[in-house]
Amino acid sequence: MYFDTNYLLCVMLPALLLSGLAQMMVRNAYSTWSKRANSSGLTGVDTARQLMQKYGLNVALEGTPQELGDHFDPRGQVVRFSPGVARQPSVASMAIAAHEFGHVQQYAQNSPLIAVRGFLIPAVQIGSNFSYILIIAGLLMNVLALSFLGLVLFGAAVLFSILTLPVELDASRRAMNMLDGAGLLRSQEDRSGAQAVLRAAAMTYLAAMVTSILQFAYYAMLVLGGRSRD
């Protein structure tokens, strides 16, 4: 009932364009720099062990079958690497491993950004399941209190997405600093390639943030429009 051309033009098409562009940048950067060996000759796992030893970051290392599914799980204190990152001594592997240890360092040092984002997680978990239902149900039944509640829950998810971008940028900044401090960036190609990979990855979070803001603006327009009609 509420799917209209405004949603298509102002939300869906920009979201598809941004996400597609971001994914293309990630794939291109990874394709380029996964084929170039880093000067230290270290795989992602080797890089992880070097950083753990240098900075006293004690986490477990595991694998994940998903390509570019590398991530840090703070609950289990585990960093998981995809096969290519774990085994290849490439510039991309080194950069991605260091980025995940940027997250490890954030948690180890109780980063304020991480703390604020973590505070929002319960609301985001609820909102991701119920916000759309509440917004649409409130509009259909003309119970604007429901729609406003849904909008508030959706707003928490948007704020989470907004905070995720600086968290990721900070993890990339920490990654470069740790690689520098450990003496692993031994050539300008190492440095340039690592920065290119990390910049491309940041674009995915930028795209997600913009998409969530556009969606929030659209649903806010519907809810406020319903209120004005009343």
Place of tokens 């098409």: 13
pLDDT per residue, tens digit, the chain (230 aa), is 445 788 899 999 999 999 999 999 999 999 999 999 999 999 999 999 999 999 999 999 999 999 999 999 999 999 999 999 999 999 999 999 999 999 999 999 999 999 999 888 888 888 777 898 999 899 889 888 999 999 999 999 999 999 999 999 999 999 999 999 999 999 999 999 999 999 999 999 999 999 999 999 999 998 887 654 55
Nearest-CA neighbor of 44 among 71, 17, 19? 71
Residue-wise pLDDT tens digits, 95-131: 999 999 999 999 999 999 999 998 888 888 887 778 9
Order the strands of the 78-81 sheet from edge to edge.
60-63, 78-81, 71-73
Residue 171 to residues 27, 35, 75, 106, Cα–Cα distance (Å): 20, 24, 18, 7
Distance CA 137, CA 147 (A): 7
Nearest-CA neighbor of 2 among 118, 105, 147? 147
Q: 62, 100, 168, 189: which is the annotated catalytic residue?
A: 100
**Tokens found for residue 21:** 């562009």
Domain-wise residue ranges, the chain: 5-38+90-229
Distance CA 14, CA 25 (A): 16
Distance CA 56, CA 108 (A): 10
The reply to whether 100 belongs to the active site is yes
Helix axes of 188-229 and 144-181: crossing angle, nearest 10 degrees: 170
Residue-wise pLDDT tens digits, 112-121: 999 999 888 8
Distance CA 217, CA 230 (A): 20
Q: Which H/E stretch holds residue 58?
A: none
